[in-house]
Structure 1
Amino acid sequence: MDEIRTERLLLRPTRLSDAAGLFGFLGDAEAMRHTHHLATLRDCRRHVARHERQRRRIGCAPWAVLDKAQGRLVGYGGVFEDPFDPDWGLEIGYWFAPSTWGRGYATELTEASLHFARDRLGLPEIQAFARPENAASRRVLEKAGFEHAGFVPELERYRYLRHLGAA
């Protein structure tokens, strides 16, 4: 499965040619204040390449998220295991260009990711993390049926868990 289409989004494997577009927001310290930002375009390329190696190895990694109507790159996310800190296992995460915030794209991506985790990966549950001060991300997770599962001091984030049921 190369692509997933939702009502408004196209989710596809990330290409190195996406790095410049992704760096526009992944490299923005203010936009990424609740997570980490990438310092250089070179770091962004490495980030993309390492995640794509994960996709080949385990079958999932963040997708490039495109607005179907305009065909432009608006986000990055999905089901993944962080290749830079793999001890936490599979999770759902999302990062979007600030110009798209408040449009429900994170919710739409999260719903597609939940279906992928259950139907394609056969997972019984999936987790996600959000900083306490990131109220918008916490709302996305709660709206998608995630339950608060505690605070993880090492990550300085709340852990959320969503049971997926049978595929």
Structure 2
Amino acid sequence: MLSNVDVQTDRLLLARPKLRDVPELFGFLGDQHAMQYTHVDKDMASCRRRIAVHEWRRRRDRFAPWAIRLKGQSEIIGWGGLYDDPFDPGWGPELAFFFHPKVWGQGYGAELALAALVVADTEVQLPVLSAFAHPENTGSNRLLEKVGFQAEHHVARMNRILYRRKRPVPAGN
């Protein structure tokens, strides 16, 4: 289940985004409300660049964010997964998730996070993952704690809480 191929969960299809997906992704990645606690793409060209750079990094790192769809549907409802942020380097591999507001609160973030953690632990074998959440983004903070991340400290320059999760030690080791 390497992250450079499609992954399925109970309700979601996680697939490599294509450049033709950029207009649909920009529909929420460029929306001030949807991205109120994080980076907002200022225009379609910025969104295209973000997707293209992450896909280039997928070839090197063996992981990058997926386009997220409900199984059996063509509409993209989110973007996220594992990545090593080329636009804010130095934090190491991270888990991130961004969803269209119309699907907030339906558990898709946790479903994506758990699938990404399986890839991180078993396929890519990342020893530590980071994640960030704005202090006021209670949903994201709860989700990260629910899937095993521990809050470390507040990063003032970003106004984000830094979370970390160590790869579990396999039983018998």
Checking the alignment, whether the CA contact within 8 Å between 1:76 and 1:94 is kept in structure 2 is yes
Does residue 31 of structure 1 match 2:24?
A: no
Checking the alignment, whether the CA contact within 8 Å between 1:148 and 1:158 is kept in structure 2 is yes
* Structure 2 residues without counterparts, runs of 5 or longer: none
Q: Counterpart in 1 of 2:99? A: 96
Q: Counterpart in 2 of 1:108? A: 111
RMSD: 1.1
Shift, 1:148, TM fit:
1.0
Moved segments of 4+, more than 6 Å: none
Q: Counterpart in 2 of 1:141? A: 144
1:82-127 deviation per Cα after TM superposition (whole angstroms, max 9, x unaligned): 1111111110000000111011000000001111111111112211
User: What amino acid sits opposite 1:44 in the alignment?
Assistant: C
Q: Structure 1 stretch 122-131 or stretch 91-100: which is displaced more?
A: 122-131
Structure 2-normalised TM-score? 0.92
Shift, 1:58, TM fit:
1.1
User: What amino acid sits opposite 1:83 in the alignment?
Assistant: P
Q: What percent identity do the matched residue pairs reach?
A: 44
Q: For the residues of structure 1 that align with 2:63 and 2:34, how far apart are their CA atoms?
A: 25
Aligned length: 167
Checking the alignment, whether the CA contact within 8 Å between 1:151 and 1:159 is kept in structure 2 is yes
Q: Counterpart in 2 of 1:56? A: 59
Checking the alignment, whether the CA contact within 8 Å between 1:6 and 1:112 is kept in structure 2 is yes
Q: For the residues of structure 2 that align with 1:70 and 1:148, how far apart are their CA atoms?
A: 35
Does residue 70 of structure 1 match 2:85?
A: no
Structure 1-normalised TM-score? 0.96
Q: Structure 1 stretch 157-166 or stretch 33-42: which is displaced more?
A: 157-166
Equivalent position SS for 1:87: coil
Shift, 1:71, TM fit:
3.0
